[in-house]
Structure 1
Amino acid sequence: MQERRRTPRRRSYIGATIVFNNRCSTIDCLIRDISDDGARLIFSDTVNAPEQFDLVINKMGETRRAQMAWRQADQAGVTFLRQSATDWAKLGHARRLGEVEAERTALRIRVAELLGRE
């Protein structure tokens, strides 16, 4: 079988999350093969992911914009899209905003606990 990829793929076993719908919807998946240009994703069940989405790879500390290249029942191949510096900044800001909102929620809970004890 002839290899059609531009960059070599590496076998992997990395958990990831597909994020879409303005970061309101997520689908967990497993990256089984990855290269600089794309990846093969495995799902625990048949999923209906959108054509384009963000792939959050926590172990690698990355978020990559991806587009579906092919799909089967419980797996899919994706191509990573090139992003501009502005797009990367937006992702960084969105991630930091989520962290700040989580911190704020934790602080509100802690303040409520402290006020309840007095």
Structure 2
Amino acid sequence: MQERRRTPRRRSYIGATIVFNNRCSTIDCLIRDMSDGGARLIFSDTINAPEQFDLVINKMGETRRVQMAWRQADQAGVTFLKQSAVELAAQEHARRLREVEADRTALRARVTELLGRE
């Protein structure tokens, strides 16, 4: 069988979440292989997802807009859609905000610990 992908795929085992319906609906999945252009997703059961949705890649702290390329019973192939500069900036801002909030929580716990020792 001839490979039709423009970029080589890499095997992976990364948890992800499909988000759609104005962020009201989610489906957990597993990314089994990924390339710069798309990914193959595995589900625990057959799913009913729209043709386009957001894919939240948990390990990377990244959200990508994707288009369904194909689907079979418990798996699907998706193509990553190009993101605008505004979307990329918003994602980076959200990622940095999560980091700062985690730092703040850790510092607050440390201050509480130090004050409790006196």
Q: TM-score, normalized by length of structure 2?
A: 0.75
Residues 60/93 of structure 1: CA separation in 2 closer, same or farther (3 Å cut): closer
Q: Distance in 2 between matches of 1:66 and 1:73?
A: 19
1:90 offset after TM fit, Å? 4.3
1:92 offset after TM fit, Å? 5.5
Q: Distance in 1 between matches of 2:27 and 2:50?
A: 11
Q: Within 5 Å, which residues of 2 pair with 1:1-118?
A: 1-91=1-91
Residues 31/49 of structure 1: CA separation in 2 closer, same or farther (3 Å cut): same
Residue 67 of structure 2 contacts residue 80 of structure 2 at CA under 8 Å; is this kept in 1? yes
Residue 43 of structure 2 contacts residue 75 of structure 2 at CA under 8 Å; is this kept in 1? yes
Q: Distance in 2 between matches of 1:46 and 1:24?
A: 19
1:61 offset after TM fit, Å? 1.7
Q: Distance in 2 between matches of 1:21 and 1:90?
A: 20
Q: Distance in 2 between matches of 1:19 and 1:93?
A: 19
The unaligned stretches of length 5 or more in structure 1 are 101-118
Please state whether the residue corresponding to 1:60 is helix, strand or coil: coil
Q: Deviations over 1:4-50 (max 9, x none)?
A: 10000000111100011111110000000100000000000000011
Q: Distance in 2 between matches of 1:27 and 1:93?
A: 25
Q: Deviations over 1:38-67 (max 9, x none)?
A: 000000000001111110011012111100
List structure 1 runs of 4+ shifted beyond 3 angstroms: 89-96
Residues 22/65 of structure 1: CA separation in 2 closer, same or farther (3 Å cut): same
Corresponding letter in the other structure for 2:8: P
Residue 32 of structure 2 contacts residue 40 of structure 2 at CA under 8 Å; is this kept in 1? yes
Q: CA RMSD in A?
A: 1.9
The unaligned stretches of length 5 or more in structure 2 are 102-118
Please state whether the residue corresponding to 2:87 is helix, strand or coil: helix
Q: Number of residues paired by the alignment?
A: 98
